Amino acid sequence: MTITDSKYTEVIHAVEAGFAKHPKRLPSWLFYDEAGDKIFQAIMHMPEYYLTSCEYEILQSNKDKLYQYFSKHDDAFDLIELGAGDGLKTEIILRHFQDRKAAFRYMPIDVSATVLSSLTHRLADILPKLVVHPVNNRYDEALRTLYNDDVNRKVFLFLGANIGNFDPHEAENFVSMIASRMRQGDQLLIGFDLKKDPRLIQAAYDDPHGITRQFNMNLLIRLNRELGATFIPDQFRHYPCYDPETGMTKSYLVSLRAQDVYIAALQTSVHFDRWEVIHTEVSQKYDIPMIETIAAASELEIVDFLYDCKHYFCDVLFKKKN
């Protein structure tokens, strides 16, 4: 496996800073190396992980409504996706918009050049007439450059409950950052996972197949490989925990014994007490008032709430206030 120097430096810094915190933390972007991408694909196929099929249903049953919202009076627009991943869900609306002869270009933004190039190649295969402009950059940088060079109306997509990796306060800041760039007429569609039966949520992150456990453990395997760390995955337990009061699911790796783990790239050992945790992820669940709070804080107007039939998930359409 090859990693770029800048990525390597980023991993070192993230791990060094994260292990200095109390409780110890690892950032959730660290999940997504080659193996992590594959395990996440498997997660999305588990029956317990209801999120994917719910949003799929929402996009499928609202594709024409979205076409009406996005294309307005048939003028050209840029469809900009933050964190496109494999683009499987987006494909539903891309295909439909093309069938309706919408004038738009698709601009997936991702920090990973590998993810972007495989997405671009796949789209060239299945939707050869689609105009695709990949943007290989961080979200904030990409947004800045997007507004430099042209006048097209813009529609942003932030799907898949990716916003859940932020806590509500961070989510507010992130949406405000996007909103501050948006111009009148621009729109933003965000996928939120909703509060529901706590046991259903718990099961989505604590599946009986052990796939989510593998997803978490892969962090340790990654650090062993990339940073010369000496984690023994079996010495940690995967423990996700949903709090129905705040709507926050937190995932942990819990140390099963007192241990010192040497990390070659940091030239130091990290100590773990027995039952000490590494907090690895936030998966925030929302209710409608929480979503309205985000809209108010970022001065966006809510245009529509699009639900699946069970109301487990919601794609919310926002627009820049007039």
Q: Tokens 């979200």 label which residue?
A: 139
Nearer to ligand AVJ, 162 or 230 (CB): 162
Least CB distance to ligand AVJ at residue 171 (A): 12
3-state secondary structure of 33: coil
Nearer to ligand AVJ, 110 or 186 (CB): 110
Least CB distance to ligand AVJ at residue 89 (A): 12
Q: Tokens 């709430």 label which residue?
A: 305
Nearer to ligand AVJ, 250 or 320 (CB): 250
Least CB distance to ligand AVJ at residue 209 (A): 12
Least CB distance to ligand AVJ at residue 250 (A): 11
Q: How far is CA 58 from CA 30, 93, 229, 245, 311, in A?
A: 29, 11, 43, 26, 10
Three-state SS letters, 257-318: CCEEEEEHHHCEEEEECCCCEEEEEEEECECHHHHHHHHHHCCEEEEEEEECCCCCEEEEEE
Q: Which of 251, 250, 255, 252 is nearest to 276 (CA)?
A: 255
Least CB distance to ligand AVJ at residue 57 (A): 16
Nearer to ligand AVJ, 164 or 247 (CB): 164
Least CB distance to ligand AVJ at residue 61 (A): 21
- Cβ contacts of residue 148 below 8 Å, gap of 6+? none
Q: Which of 107, 160, 155 is nearest to 130 (CA)?
A: 107
* Site of interaction with ligand AVJ (CB under 6 A): 43, 51, 160-162, 164-165, 205, 212, 215, 281, 283
CA 264 to CA 266: how far, in whole Å? 5
Nearer to ligand AVJ, 134 or 164 (CB): 164
Least CB distance to ligand AVJ at residue 287 (A): 17
Nearer to ligand AVJ, 185 or 233 (CB): 233
Beta bridge partners of 320: 300
Helix (H) or strand (E) holding 136: strand 135-136
Nearer to ligand AVJ, 255 or 284 (CB): 284
